[in-house]
Amino acid sequence: MSGKDNTGVSRRNFLAAAGAFGVVGLTGCLGGGGSITATGSNTVAPITQEAAESYQDTNDDALVDVSPEGTGAGFSEFCQGRSDIQSASRDITEDEIEDCAASDVEYSRYTVGLDGLAVVKNAENDWVDNITLDELQAIWEFEATDEVTQWSDVRDEWPDEEMSLHARDSASGTFDYFTANVVGERGDIRDDYSATSQTNEIMDAVASETHGFGWGGLGYAEAVIDDGQPLELVPVESDQDGDFYLPTEENVESGLYSPLARPLFFFVNHATLQESPDLIGSYVRHYINNQDSFADAAGFFAAPDEEQNANHDRFTEVLQDLGVEDEVSTEAEYY
């Protein structure tokens, strides 16, 4: 994985800026001029950002606003027809499907990368060498509130010191994914941890506290580690073979880092695509054509080849169905 994007701006700088400002305006001629609104996942935002910066290099008249407010909050906007692109760190839910249908918002979904959801500790923590899935559940489930507060409540040999817990809030797709796949029920989580919509804040907090512990997107964890901060990844038990693994490329792509390996998505609003195919269509084509490079530059892993091929086929079919295929730039090819 690369620690810097194609323009030489560090991943750490973008992640911090996204957390601080919420919206990143990008200008950059693959297609037409105008504004593209990209809502959604804080985790996937760096990939969408990479695509936007690359697109702007040859499209000076375009503006892409990347608003990483969280997957759930983003779908609230997207399903009301108020955004063109929706980044998501989980799939769309049944309720969100119904919301989009109620507003006559039609869309298509594309897989743009793989993420290993990172469990992190402070580097001064020398007692947590690994953690089981049962232990993660015991720490984070709602029943743990006021019951599991010290490290020794998890393992007897761990110290009688209070844990400082940090994680995503309920607007986050990462929150949904973790609670569903680790705790066992979406939204079931203790109510006394430090919750935030910004993953960089989680990593910074854990790096600043000896007893800090939390989880979030791998790219954000690696940005803090690359910056020399005292943060470490914790090997997590696999539900495949019971051994403990870190979220390396090999472990994520092989399926061993399970259940904490997950696909990352973006969705395209068909109505606005049809209205501005030269702008939005050209951007999406550029995104899909180079998605493995964008994922790598943002600190994630490439989607499987079959998913990338499916993205191309699906988008071509959408353009044909909308009758706008000839209006989308053919210059947005692989580089």
Q: Is 81 left (phi over 0), alpha (psi -120 to 50) or beta?
A: left
pLDDT of residue 299: 85
Low-confidence ranges of the chain (pLDDT < 70): 1-32, 330-335
Superfamily name and number for 11-114+263-327: Periplasmic binding protein-like II (3.40.190.10)
pLDDT of residue 281: 96
What would the pLDDT profile of 176-232 be if each residue is shown by its tens digit? Answer: 999 999 999 999 999 999 999 899 999 999 999 999 999 998 988 999 999 999 999
Q: Where are the domains of the chain?
A: 11-114+263-327, 118-259
- Residue 326's contacts (CB-CB under 8 Å, 6 or more residues apart) are none
Residue ranges of the alpha helices (H) in 79-210?
94-102, 133-140, 173-178, 199-208
Crossing angle of helices 11-21 and 199-208, rounded to 10°: 110
pLDDT of residue 331: 55
Q: Tell me, yes or no, if the two domains 11-114+263-327 and 118-259 fold the same way.
A: yes
Q: Which fold has domain 118-259?
A: D-Maltodextrin-Binding Protein; domain 2 (3.40.190)
Q: Residue type at 243? A: D
- H/E segment holding residue 284: helix 282-289
Whether pTM > 0.75 for this model: the answer is yes
Inter-CA distances, 218 with 118, 187, 190, 298, Å:
5, 21, 22, 10
Q: Taking Cα atoms as reference points, which of 42, 252, 307, 173 lies closest to residue 315?
A: 307
pLDDT of residue 247: 96
Q: Taking Cα atoms as reference points, which of 89, 172, 178 lies closest to residue 133?
A: 178
